[in-house]
Every structure is written in C-alpha cells, then in structure tokens.
Amino acid sequence: MTKEHSRVAYQVMWNRLISVVEEQAQALIRTAFSTSVREAGDLSAGVYDPQGNMLAQAVTGTPGHVNAMADAVAHFIRRIGRQNMFEGDVYITNDPWEGTGHLHDITMVTPSFHKGVLVGFFACTAHIVDIGGRGFGADAQSVYEEGLYIPIMKFAERGKVDETLVRIIRGNVREPDQLIGDIYALVTCNEIGHRRLIDMMEEFALDDLNGIATFILDNSRRATLEAIAALPQKSASGEMTMDGFDTPITLKVTVRVEPDRIITDFTGTSGLDRKGINCPLVYTKAYACYALKVAIAPEIPNNAASLAPFEVTAPENSIVHALHPAPVALRHIVGHFVPDAVYDAFDKIVPGLVPAEGAGCLCNFQVSLRPRSDAPAPPDARRSEVLTFNSGGSGARPAHDGMNATAFPSGVMTMPIEATEHAGPVIIWRKELRPDSGGAGRTRGGLGQYMEVGAQEGHEFDIQAMFDRGQHPARGRRGGQDGARTTIARSDGASMQVKGKQFVPHGARVVMAFPGGAGYGDPSERPVDQVKRDLARGYISDRIAAEDYGLSAEEIAAIHQAVAKGEPL
C-alpha cells in the first residue's frame, strides 16, 4: 500500500469512526428511558484510543457532555487500573469532577478488546431525571445533598453485573426503573459501538488503532494550530453579569492568542455561590473550548488533539472552578454563559465574527407532582417527576438573525409538549413564540417563548425553576439592542423566583416568558423587507416596527392589509 493510498484509507477509517459513534448515540436515543435523552438529545458518545485520547465524537449530543467526557476516560483508566480491565467489563460514574460536572449525568465506559488485546474504549453520557437527594435544582448547599454519588467503579466485570450496586441505586432514587433502564441503555450503546469498531478493524485488517489514532490526532492538531496561527496574536478581556441565585455573578475572562494555543483565563470571576449553581472546571473548560473552536475551526472534527490547543485556567473555588464539596447540580447555568463571556473578549481580537449574546442557559424546569393535600384527591392521582428542556432565543449573528427558541451553546432540542405530558400528570397550557423578545439590530435576536404549565385535576406540585436572565438580559453587540428578560409568576398572582423549588397549589399554573437573544448591529441598517417580514409573521409588534426600525404608520397598515388578504408584501 502506497503512502497516498494509506492516507486515503485512513481518511475512510476516520469517517467510519465518526459514523460508528453516531450510531452509538442514536442507539442511546432509541433505548433510553429518560425523556431528556429521548426527546432533547442530552447525551454524548465517543471512541477513545488505549491511552484515553478521544478519537471521534458523535454529532448528536451537547458540547458540555462531549468536551467534558473527553477528559473522563483518563480518570477511568487511572482509577480502575489497566491490569484490572477485562473483556466484558463496564465502568460507571457520576462524579462531577471526573465525569461531566454534576450528579445527574451518568457516564459509562466500556473497554474494547480485539483478539484478546485492549484496543480502545467507548464512552457515553446521559442526563437522568432523578438521582435522589433534593432533586434536580439549586437548593442544596453541598454536593452531599444533591443525590447519590457513584465513584468510578465497575458496573459489570467480565459480563457479570454488580447486583449490589444496582440495589443501592434503586434504593436511593425516586424513579428506579427509569434510572436502571437508562444505565442499561448506556451499556447497550457502548456495546453497539464496540461491535461496529470490530467490524471496521476486521474489514481493514487492523490489529490495533495505533495507525488511525496517529493519523487523526496529527492532522487535527495541525489543522487547529494553522487556524490559531492565522489569528492576531493579542489578548483582550471581557465580562458579563448574570442573575445568580440570590446575588448577581460576574464572569471575567481574558483571552490570549499565542502562536500555538489560545489561553482563556477566568481570573477575577465571582467566588463560589452557597447554592448549587457552581461549575467544576471540567465543564467550564468544555464550553470555553467549544466557544473558540466553533468560532475559528468549526470544520475540524472534535477530538483530543483539536481541543488540546485551547487552554483554560481559573482560580480555585471561583464559581467556574468549584472544588468538592461545592453544590453543582445546576452547573449548566453558569457553564452555558461561558461562551458569551469568552465572546465578549474575543470580539475585540477578531471583530465581526462572533454572535451577540443569547438566552445562554437552558430554560429548564422540573415538576414534582403529587396528589393534592388541601382536599381529598382522586384515586388515580399519583406522584411523578417530569423534567422538560426548553430554550430562549439565540443571539443574532453578524450576517444572520438569531434562531428562535433554540439552545446555544448547549444544542439540546426543545422537548415536545406531547412527550412532556406523556411523562406524568402535567399539562402544558401554552407554548408559543414571544413577540418582541429578540433584540433589534441589523440582524435580529432570536425570539424566546411563552410557556404555561399546570397539573391534571387532583394534583399539586413543586416546580424547580432553573432560569436566568431575569435581571440581566442578553446584551446587543455592535449597536444591537438587548433581548427581553425572563419572567415567571403564578396564575393566582403570587410572585416567583427564577431559581429554586417553589410550591404550586391545586388549580394554579405557572406562567413563564423565556428570554430573547440580543441584536447585532444598528437597527437602522436592517433591510426594510426583513422588517416587514418580521411584522407580517408576528415576530415584532407595530410599536417595535415603528420605534426601532422606522416603519411609517402607512407602511405598517399596508403590511397588515396584505396579510389579511393573503397578498405578498
């Protein structure tokens, strides 16, 4: 085989590995019990070489899971020990500092053997609905309150499942069948990845992955370094403020571009919060790397080498470098704002490349339903835990509008009403786009959404609010205007907070408005035909069309008349 043919063959193998891990991820989606996996795609899957270097990741999944999991397999190798790894083994953890940042993520690692030799690993992660403790929310004051901790250990050895571990897990969570089902789904998807890898190795007559690993990592490293070398070698600082739990939090960051790396330093960022919104460094690193990589090298596949030139540092026990035993259940709230903070600095280094700020963190809430306590409940009333993933609007991009009700940077999907209502006795009374929530600009911010949630007759519930942007909306970039803030209230007029567990009595509903993304550029520069289109679609009101974009009363009336008659604008 010639050198050129070898490169072609290796490229084919690389593409095959990416398809293998994507099939691995899709298998998890098809078999998972958790709605957060099946409907929202809150997962990750990847294949690793024998040293624990990630070679390929599935396209399906979230940057927080994938980039954090990139470091996890090395922890498994260190904790388990190579001499204790056997065919048929499966390893498990939800360690926030050696996994993906909080107890609600289960990571499974499976060693892959070929002809009796360890050739690599498969790993996958899934968010599970309940892990015991206080439940999914920010109310705990230490990680010990947040749920069951599973250290890195063997779930199965030589094909035999540790039934004692299974009994411990089942005895400490609210949804035992669902959680054990998710664990077996994770085991299964790794097994599918292993089988497809062995098929590939046999097809290409490979005894190990050393050659393809070297090809992948060398080419990825070289391409990433070339992208970094093309940037101005300078540094810049940025910062942003978010709601926090009781008091605002400031993220400060300095981005420094060097010839062979980009260093992101969070010195000056707020310290630990007393509630569970703290973020382990592994998760901060995941989103800081993601932000810069998608800005300068989005076409290079994600792997250990393409991530390595992005270095992230932060002071210990800052809110982006929380150490054990800090509460970290909602680490995603802080972590999802990391890209906006990084972009505030990077925009000063490479202008005109990164988007305006968006909603940032997901607009998630979990509903804990139970039979009503203020009066006799119907016999069919039941307890249930329902977690739903939702999104505000993403920020406007330099050349394109922000996306409506679309998660950035997490990338998870908004869960359908039907799937949410199927999971328990919950009713979603309203779910629609929120007009005027996207900040005005040359390109407009994406719209947030309205949601109204209640329970079926005979039930009351607690809602775990996991929101932000209540006091600090997404900021416009280069003349763009801010997006709309988050609001939350009870239908009976009672006020509510954007974070924390809150009681909702029988018959009451929770009314929420999720934030919009900010605009980019001067609104006066927005093409008139796009303003008219937005007004016709109901994305903006007459007031915004006139005040922010300068449409006349006659133009506005003509648009409404054309819409009423079904005529083109």
- Please tell me which residue, 65 or 447, carries the higher pLDDT value: 447
Q: Select from 25, 163, 157, 173 the least CA-distant residue to 91.
A: 157
pLDDT at 467 over 90: yes
Tell me the pLDDT band of 239, cut-offs 50, 70 and 90.
very high
| 99 and 33, same domain (yes or no) | yes
Percent of the chain whose pLDDT exceeds 70: 99
Q: What is the pLDDT of residues 23-53, one digit of tens each?
A: 999 999 999 998 889 998 999 999 999 999 9
pLDDT at position 1? 40
State how far Cα 247 lies from the chain centre: 24
Residue 284 lies in a domain: no
Q: What mean pLDDT comes out for the span 420-428? A: 96
SS3 331: helix
pLDDT at 568 over 60: yes
Q: How far apart are CA 62 and CA 207, in angstroms?
A: 32
| 487 and 548, same domain (yes or no) | no
Compute the C-alpha angle 264/270/275, nearest 5°.
120
| 555 and 416, same domain (yes or no) | no
DSSP 137-203: SS--SSGGGS-----SEEEEETTEE-HHHHHHHHTT-S-HHHHHHHHHHHHHHHHHHHHHHHHHHHH
Q: What mean pLDDT comes out for the span 4-10? A: 79
pLDDT at position 6? 84
Q: What is the pLDDT of residues 434-458, one digit of tens each?
A: 999 999 999 999 999 999 999 999 9
Q: How many domains does the chain have?
A: 3
Q: What is the pLDDT of residues 241-270, one digit of tens each?
A: 999 999 999 999 999 999 999 999 999 999
Pairing of strands 261-265, 310-313: parallel
CATH number, residue 156:
3.30.450
| CB within 8 Å of 1: residues ≥ 6 apart | 9
Structural domain for 479, as ranges: 355-521
What's the chain's average pLDDT? 96
Q: What mean pLDDT comes out for the span 399-425? A: 94
Q: Select from 210, 196, 219 the least CA-distant residue to 8.
A: 219
Q: Is the peptide bond before 325 cis (omega within 30 degrees of 0)?
A: yes
Domain boundary among 221, 254, 281: 221
Residue 343 lies in a domain: no
The answer to whether 192 and 24 are in contact (CB under 8 A) is yes
| 144 and 204, same domain (yes or no) | yes
pLDDT at position 569? 79
Residue 196 lies in a domain: yes
| 186 and 89, same domain (yes or no) | yes
Backbone angles phi, psi at 527, to 5 degrees: -55, 135
Alpha carbons within 13 angstroms on the beta-carbon side of residue 505 total 7
Task: Count CB neighbours of 294 within 10 A.
Answer: 16
Tell me the pLDDT band of 118, cut-offs 50, 70 and 90.
very high
| 28 and 163, same domain (yes or no) | yes
pLDDT at 383 over 50: yes
| 469 and 561, same domain (yes or no) | no
| 433 and 555, same domain (yes or no) | no
Residue 502 lies in a domain: yes
pLDDT at position 55? 97
| 513 and 397, same domain (yes or no) | yes
Residue 298 lies in a domain: no
Residue 480 lies in a domain: yes
| 209 and 122, same domain (yes or no) | yes
Q: What mean pLDDT comes out for the span 356-373? A: 97
pLDDT at position 324? 97
Q: What mean pLDDT comes out for the span 347-369? A: 97
Tell me the pLDDT band of 5, cut-offs 50, 70 and 90.
low
pLDDT at 124 over 70: yes
pLDDT at 2 over 50: no
Q: How far apart are CA 501 and CA 5, in angstroms?
A: 60
Residue 227 lies in a domain: no
pLDDT at 344 over 60: yes
| 197 and 63, same domain (yes or no) | yes
The answer to whether 125 and 43 are in contact (CB under 8 A) is yes
The answer to whether 75 and 254 are in contact (CB under 8 A) is no
pLDDT at 3 over 60: no
Residue 492 lies in a domain: yes
Q: What is the pLDDT of residues 271-320, one digit of tens each?
A: 999 999 999 999 999 999 999 999 999 999 999 999 999 999 999 999 99
Q: How far apart are CA 91 and CA 151, in angstroms?
A: 10
Pairing of strands 249-258, 235-242: antiparallel
Global confidence as pTM? 0.95
Token pair 């705990």 is found at 140
| 505 and 534, same domain (yes or no) | no
